[in-house]
Chain A
Amino acid sequence: MPDATERRKNIAPWLGLLLAIGGIGCNVAFFVRPPLQGMLPWLSLLFAVFALIFLAIGLKRAFGQPQVYRGKVLSVVLTVIAVLPIGLTAFAFVAARKLPDSTVAPQVGQKVPDFTLSDASGKPVSLDQLLAPSSGSSSGPRAPAPRAVLLIFYRGYW
């Protein structure tokens, strides 16, 4: 039986914690709008899954082979710490994808409904006006009629 001081370091729980934090890092990365951002949700999930795997390996080593590996206390502490970021990643993944069905929204080839809404200065603006040459008002310089408008619906800040 090997001496206690010769037991191997158990780095698996450290890797697990690192991966758990990496999962959170993926969520932060959305703010810089990187290319291939469509992969980020899955990447964050992958980080969380591997974090769990490494934490499990760490615990198994510390408690299953205590004569080979150190870190009984440490593996438990790191696992408890890592549970929070893993939980957050999983929660964010589920919450961010809870979106209403888009198949009833206007599709390619369909006509969109007309609208008139206030712009940032409170002035009413209609879809017809947006598709017409702009007169050179507060909303920008004089411009010819656009070939198209790009309607960007967003969640807003409240």
Chain B
Amino acid sequence: MADFQAAGVRPVAISVDPPEVSRDLANKAGYTFPILSDPDASVIRSYHLLHPGAGVDGHDIARPAEFLVDSSKIVRWTNFTEDIRVRARANEMLAAARQLR
């Protein structure tokens, strides 16, 4: 987390989980970055990341994806996994963050 701060990057997590679930996650994992709730998946949809019916009980959820977005809201780096078991590692995201000019 301090490394991201040093790189001038603010991590933000987004899922369909309600705020209570995110709060539990933040407490358990010790996350200090914002965890945002998109319960009706409207933002996930606007980013074209909807994975219909893939959640428990057939909920629509987000496909895993990471974006580095600069101050003018332009995408500078992306990562779309092809396998839900494989996610971006913190050091990969940090490397992308440090390459930003």
Which A residues form the contact surface with B (CB < 8 A)? 27, 30, 33, 35, 37-38, 40-41, 92, 96-97, 99-100, 102, 104-115, 117-122, 125, 127, 130-131, 134, 139-140, 143, 145-158
A102 to B83 alpha-carbon distance, docked (Å): 12
**What are some 17 contacts across the A-B interface (CB < 8 A)?**
A30-B85, A99-B83, A100-B63, A105-B49, A108-B78, A110-B74, A112-B73, A115-B38, A117-B43, A119-B19, A131-B69, A147-B8, A154-B13, A154-B15, A154-B87, A155-B63, A156-B16
Which B residues form the contact surface with A (CB < 8 A)? 4-5, 7-17, 19, 21-23, 25-26, 32-38, 43-44, 46-52, 54-57, 59, 61-78, 80-89, 93, 97, 100
Distance to closest chain B CB from A42 (angstroms): 10
Chain B: CB-nearest residue to A151:
B67
Residues of B contacting A157 in the complex (Cβ-Cβ under 8 angstroms)? 15, 17, 21, 25, 56
